[in-house]
């Protein structure tokens, strides 16, 4: 079988580089172009030396890609740039997997409030499918534009969706923690080693853009509007994300019920694993893999429980889920290119 | 003025070493003995090379200390060992500052449940003062045995006590994070660099021993029993602790009210700082200092707020607060030996 | 084709776990047993949680393995234990890839001096092949026991062997640096996070056991005995190794000559890459891969040059080279199971 | 006694912040102004949150400082900017301690070659004293402009100067390693956490600007020109520097002779410590202190020895030595403001 011609839009960001890594190990895809307009003309190894010696194409402007000869594009651009570029390149037969935030919120007004700019491609938005892989397979299969969820929403939603009927959805407290790669590759002193190593801090308290995305998905699932508490933190590590979710149990519900609901929901999933009782998931144990692990614990307060999920923010939280979504679109084995064992230590 | 003869019991642990560091910069104290029974006879630099070239005494067994000639002891021993040793050495005129858990819980039965051993020194327990410095000055001044609070309780209590009347005390969710030094110096693969670097995880979910201590203090303050949610995490950093506390506001109370209450309570404190609106405290910004910083934020959920506190777990969370307590006992300026500027980066 | 039944001896160490990771991605091998006598009976995930959810066999004692039904064994045991165990299990048809130091030094007396114990299996030693893959293919193909080189020797030898005739072999200065995983998984406070993070130090100065191994190989290549200067350092990182080698150039030789010699030697190699002029190799750019990268630079002193090599100590420096050696023994494509793209960031 | 009015020029860099930290603990100095032209008008805590709550002055432009009322200035500016600014502000009675490279090289042509710009203040250069504290006290005492050595030169020179007559000065190989703070606070992706954590690399191989500075000082000491080999590396740590120096011993000289020479030279020094035989210095054991530690070891090659020195690059390698130099100028106890115990862990 011929491999599908695959383009990475925005290959100079971390999610772009992770998409490249995963696609290089995917039997049905080949990288036909890597774009990065600021770096067009450079070898990819100039931007990402770990990619040297692999025969990868040089970086080009997206305008110089042969889009008619392209089968698949992973858009790894910042929001705004993403929808603008996708609007230019989308055409029949091209599958677009978007890793930006541009098509995650169905409500264009909410998008405008959240991202500080009007949405400019309402038709594309209408057709986009929110690609939380384990929950949207039927829609993803039909999609030509898949909006991959944010990393925090991925971590939070897979933990909450199976138990939503068992808890007080108006009292969900999500305390989330991310590695520094989640901030992207930025010329900003705030992400220098001395400013992020050997310490930790919350950020975007009450205001982080992934809050509305989590709300929107949970509200849709519930059929009514809820607002979660959500506090993200930046931790001194390259990769990894934890969501520690404190929930209030409905009357008569026990933590064991939450666990049972999660197991029932995920028992046939390739990437989602419910940890045995007492086992706490660590981010380092899913590093560089597409795994998602959940632990469920009794809280000290007997009316509450603690759900802890971990992912690699760049893999299941971004480029890995993107590849998984493409596998779904193409009706391939969902694990194609994604069966990497976690890298530890 | 002659300096007080000061002994560190258990100088081979991290809190012991931090006590040594602080006392070396304290004008009214001199280190007359450092004990570490397993290492007796060795130079202190053998155990802690950063302490070389300082003229410190060699390590001895606690039995070999001249206790009658001692004015102050900082007990930096594990629980159990601490009360046993303090029972042997305590005598009139000796001020004992205990950094272990042995005298933190006034209820001996709760202690037994929590620490898995019966309390053996009820008389000492009865006389011990819980040394949350900013809240117990009057009692500390009279004390001959001060029980220094745990690191997580310190981080949590200073943030919660000023606002307890403004929030639903039955719905306090504390998500806490600590650097690895909090685990102590242990021959345990679990704390090796490859097992703790570049990743994060929760631990002791629902069961950590500092939970009952937090409950006890808040319940006393409230006059009724409450149970907090409390989930600690281990982060890849040497020092530092965050408590991210999600609280439900009482009717008509706003986050600004919480801030005002904190400012009112702490405006004259040397070590406790309420951050200006919008400023998120980082652990690295209090590193190696005795500072405590609090930020207060509106939650996404308008009925809730987020209180974030940071300390250095070894300083304000342990040995720094211990020195502060001694300063209170002795009626000295509370900042003696504790005015270090944070070390950044 | 049926997969070869593969056993990991000593699967509870870091090199054992890395071997498991690599073999799980190798199309011609299947893991039939994992041994760890101290942990026999436990799930492998109990020891290495990142390996959970993969259907791996539980840990067993090596005595309980069906050795007659085994095709390949990777011995990831400490020295001493390795030769003792291999002596018990070796039999016709079993390929033994040893990652320990036991068969690296052909001179049993030198082994005894270096490792502080007599060599007990001289016959095995006589038959063992030193498996520096790129230099010993002919011998490895015939071998039933391959002694994989140490990590420092691998890093050093591949950089030096092509240029040995161009430099003063009596004045080779190797300054080497390793990540903490190189120390193995040990219950030792010296490798705790707080003792190894945020700082660096040399160790084994003048005495490290890999010195004689480097000497032995270079001396064999030269046909006369030489002694290299070799100073290893421990760096705060999980994986990665650099050898910074300062050499004195022979008369009329230039750094460009060294580069040309390296390129000539390695142009057809899959894993060894000579960086373009001016490009400095980073350990993070080969992380979790079997790559070896070399940079060659003019020194400030015009009579000298600097050769810098990087590897992942657990992969090309240990388990990756071990798999490469098995591929050679079996006459397979040398990159089988080893074509992973480096994981960055 | 009144405290001397002290200004930090360039307080927004890491060496500026370290100077602020040290001066806040110095009994004879008070910070009268902090300059940072790009940030003029902001609170210092806006730029360095760890400095909040200390009553420090806001940042101003250097043009707005009352220079006539200033006693001491620490110039923490980039090279070029430093000499230009110092030229504007220098006046009788003002002591200038310069931390930049502008006055380190007495040879203006060498400066131009090395720094890529012509030196513009030859008169200042002629009067400047190279402030390697332990070697230049007599001159420093007379100086109104002290040029503080670079971090690598400090690490290298104190280790080499006492032994220069005992070794082959034409074969000195310095392999040096620095923490990331040494690069300064820069908006550059190269110093982001993901690009510098969990890996290591050499940089400036053969070309680093501190090479000529080391040469110049050693050549002056020897009375003839030499060129050292010098390869710096960037390590994943905030602070700390190692110089691992491989030297060829003169005939009949032993490593013990080097040690004896170092001990003889430094026995009365407050900050320089020669480690006992067999003790390897770690950067983490001098962290945040002004200590300098040296270890001397036999090399594997009996004609050679290894000298290892460690400092905190921001303290003894920069701002600490700067304060030490001011203490010398003012004829104060050299340890004033510098007696901090290292911070470990």
- The pLDDT, as a whole number, for residue B188 is 95
The residues pairing with C230 across neighbouring beta strands, listed in sequence order, are C174
Give just the sign of the alpha carbon dihedral D83, D87, D93, D94. negative
- Report the alpha-carbon distance of residue B147 to residue B318 in Å, rounded: 11
Tell me the residue ranges of DSSP E strands in chain D: 4-9, 29-35, 59-60, 72-75, 95-98, 129-130, 145-147, 173-178, 201-202, 229-234, 241-248, 272-274, 292-298, 304-311
Nearest CA in chain C to A273: C53
Whether residue C240 and residue D198 make contact (CB cut-off 8 A), yes or no, is: yes
- The pLDDT, as a whole number, for residue B155 is 98
**DSSP state at residue D57:** P
Average pLDDT over residues D198-225: 98
Pairing of the two strands A173-178 and A145-147: unpaired
pLDDT digits (tens, 9 = 90+) for A189-228: 999 999 999 999 999 999 999 999 999 999 999 999 999 9
How is residue D274 written in tokens?
């020669």
- Report the alpha-carbon distance of residue B200 to residue B237 in Å, rounded: 10
Average pLDDT over residues C207-236: 98
Against chain B, the chains showing at least 3 CB pairs within 8 Å are A, C, D
pLDDT digits (tens, 9 = 90+) for B230-254: 999 999 999 999 999 999 999 999 9
- The pLDDT, as a whole number, for residue A126 is 97
Question: Where residue C199 sits, what CATH number does that domain have?
Answer: 3.30.360.10
Whether residue B295 and residue A205 make contact (CB cut-off 8 A), yes or no, is: yes
Q: Is residue A96 part of a domain?
A: yes
pLDDT digits (tens, 9 = 90+) for A256-286: 999 999 999 999 999 999 999 999 999 999 9
* B55 Cβ neighbours under 8 A, 6+ residues apart: none
Residues B188 and B302 in one domain: yes
| Residue among C187, C192, C193 minimizing CB distance to B236 | C193
**B270 CA to chain D: closest CA distance, Å?**
9
| Model-wide pTM > 0.90 | yes
Q: Is residue D181 part of a domain?
A: yes
Whether residue C236 and residue B185 make contact (CB cut-off 8 A), yes or no, is: no
How is residue B292 written in tokens?
């405590």
Which residues in C lie closer than 8 A to residue A293 (C-beta atoms)? Answer: 52-53
Active site residue C76: no
**DSSP state at residue C338:** -
Residues D182 and D309 in one domain: yes
**DSSP state at residue B337:** T
Pairing of the two strands D229-234 and D201-202: antiparallel
The residues pairing with A242 across neighbouring beta strands, listed in sequence order, are A177, A310
Residue B265 has pLDDT above 80, yes or no: yes
Which residues in C lie closer than 8 A to residue D177 (C-beta atoms)? Answer: 177, 200, 233
Closest CA relative to residue D288, chosen from C125, B289, A305: B289
- Residue D295, helix vs strand vs coil: strand
Residue D131's pLDDT band, with cuts at 50, 70 and 90, is very high
- Residue D2, helix vs strand vs coil: coil
Taking only residues 278 to 317 of chain B, the set having a beta carbon closer than 8 angstroms to any beta carbon of chain A reads: 280-285, 287, 295, 297-302, 304, 306, 308, 310
Taking only residues 144 to 203 of chain A, the set having a beta carbon closer than 8 angstroms to any beta carbon of chain D reads: 180-181, 185-189, 191-198
Name the H helices within D33-181.
44-47, 81-89, 108-115, 122-127, 137-142, 151-160
- Report the alpha-carbon distance of residue C241 to residue C178 in Å, rounded: 4
Element holding D136 (H helix, E strand): none
For chain A, what is the radius of gyration of the CA atoms? Answer: 20
Number of domains chain D is built from? 2
pLDDT digits (tens, 9 = 90+) for C28-61: 999 999 999 999 999 999 999 999 999 999 999 9
Residues D230 and D90 in one domain: no
Average pLDDT over residues C283-297: 98
Whether residue D300 and residue C227 make contact (CB cut-off 8 A), yes or no, is: yes
- Report the alpha-carbon distance of residue D25 to residue D53 in Å, rounded: 15
Element holding D326 (H helix, E strand): helix D320-329
Q: Is residue A238 part of a domain?
A: yes
| Residue among B51, B275, B344 minimizing CB distance to D17 | B344
Residue D18 has pLDDT above 90, yes or no: yes
Q: Is residue B40 part of a domain?
A: yes
Residue B1 has pLDDT above 90, yes or no: no
- The pLDDT, as a whole number, for residue A281 is 98
Residues B114 and B157 in one domain: no
Residues B92 and B42 in one domain: yes
Residue A1 has pLDDT above 80, yes or no: no
How is residue A342 written in tokens?
């976690």
- Residue D182, helix vs strand vs coil: helix
Residues A65 and A212 in one domain: no
The residues pairing with D85 across neighbouring beta strands, listed in sequence order, are none
Q: Locate tokens 């930020």: which residue?
A: B295
Residue D1 has pLDDT above 80, yes or no: no
Residues A106 and A243 in one domain: no
The residues pairing with A35 across neighbouring beta strands, listed in sequence order, are A9, A60
Q: Is C118 exposed, middle or buried (0-12, 13-18, 19+ CB in 10 A)?
A: exposed
Average pLDDT over residues D175-187: 97
- The pLDDT, as a whole number, for residue B322 is 98
Whether residue D192 and residue A185 make contact (CB cut-off 8 A), yes or no, is: yes
- Report the alpha-carbon distance of residue C147 to residue C150 in Å, rounded: 9
Q: Is residue C330 part of a domain?
A: no
Q: Is residue C192 part of a domain?
A: yes
Q: Is residue D61 part of a domain?
A: yes
**Range of A170's domain?**
152-313
Residues D203 and D290 in one domain: yes
Whether D261 contacts D162, CB under 8 Å: yes
- The pLDDT, as a whole number, for residue B298 is 98
Q: Quick one: how far is CA B15 from the chain centroid?
A: 9
Whether A305 contacts A321, CB under 8 Å: no
Residue C106's pLDDT band, with cuts at 50, 70 and 90, is very high
Residues B176 and B122 in one domain: no
- The pLDDT, as a whole number, for residue D11 is 98
pLDDT digits (tens, 9 = 90+) for B176-231: 999 999 999 999 999 999 999 999 999 999 999 999 999 999 999 999 999 999 99
Whether B105 contacts B212, CB under 8 Å: yes
**Residue-averaged pLDDT of chain C:** 98
Average pLDDT over residues D299-314: 98
Whether residue D242 and residue C177 make contact (CB cut-off 8 A), yes or no, is: no
How is residue A11 written in tokens?
């290959």
Whether A192 contacts A291, CB under 8 Å: no
Residue C23 has pLDDT above 80, yes or no: yes
Average pLDDT over residues C135-154: 98
Peptide bond into C254 cis (omega under 30): no
Residues C22 and C69 in one domain: yes
Residues C109 and C30 in one domain: yes
Give just the sign of the alpha carbon dihedral A251, A254, A257, A259. positive
- Residue A334, helix vs strand vs coil: coil
Q: Locate tokens 């609090």: which residue?
A: B294
Residue D154 has pLDDT above 90, yes or no: yes
Q: Is residue C323 part of a domain?
A: no
Whether C289 contacts C312, CB under 8 Å: yes
- Report the alpha-carbon distance of residue A202 to residue B309 in Å, rounded: 10
- Report the alpha-carbon distance of residue D248 to residue D128 in Å, rounded: 34
Residues A112 and A159 in one domain: no
- The pLDDT, as a whole number, for residue C299 is 98
């Amino acid at each position: 079988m011929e491999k599908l011609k695959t383009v990475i839009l925005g290959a100079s960001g971390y999610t772009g580089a992770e998409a490249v890594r995963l696609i290089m190990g995917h039997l049905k895809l080949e990288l036909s172009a890597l774009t990065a307009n600021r770096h067009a003309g450079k070898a990819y190894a100039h931007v990402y030396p770990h990619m040297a010696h692999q025969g990868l194409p040089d970086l080009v402007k997206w305008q110089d890609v042969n889009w008619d000869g392209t089968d698949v594009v992973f858009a790894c651009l910042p929001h705004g740039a993403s929808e603008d570029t996708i609007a230019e390149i989308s055409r029949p037969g091209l599958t677009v997997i978007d890793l930006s935030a541009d098509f995650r919120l169905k409500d264009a007004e909410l998008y405008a409030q959240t991202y500080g700019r009007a949405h400019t491609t309402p038709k594309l938005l209408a057709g986009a499918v929110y690609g939380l892989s384990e929950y949207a397979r039927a829609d993803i299969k039909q999609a030509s534009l898949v909006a991959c969820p944010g990393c925090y929403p991925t971590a939070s939603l897979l933990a909450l969706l199976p138990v939503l009927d068992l808890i007080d959805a108006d009292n969900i407290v999500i305390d989330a923690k991310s590695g520094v790669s989640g901030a992207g590759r930025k010329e900003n002193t705030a992400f220098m080693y001395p400013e992020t190593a050997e310490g930790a801090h919350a950020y975007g308290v009450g205001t982080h853009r992934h809050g509305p995305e989590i709300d929107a998905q949970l509200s849709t699932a519930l059929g009514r509007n809820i607002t979660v508490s959500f506090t993200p933190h930046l931790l001194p590590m390259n990769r990894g994300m934890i969501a520690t979710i404190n929930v209030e149990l409905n009357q008569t519900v026990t933590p064991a019920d939450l666990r049972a609901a999660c197991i029932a929901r995920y028992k046939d999933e390739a990437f989602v694993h419910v940890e045995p009782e007492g086992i706490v998931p660590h981010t380092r144990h899913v590093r560089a893999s597409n795994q998602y692990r959940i632990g469920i614990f009794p809280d000290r307060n007997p009316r509450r429980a603690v759900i802890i999920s971990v992912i690699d923010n760049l893999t299941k939280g971004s480029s890995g889920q993107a590849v998984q979504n493409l596998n779904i679109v193409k009706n391939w084995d969902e694990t194609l290119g994604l069966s990497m064992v976690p890298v530890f230590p």
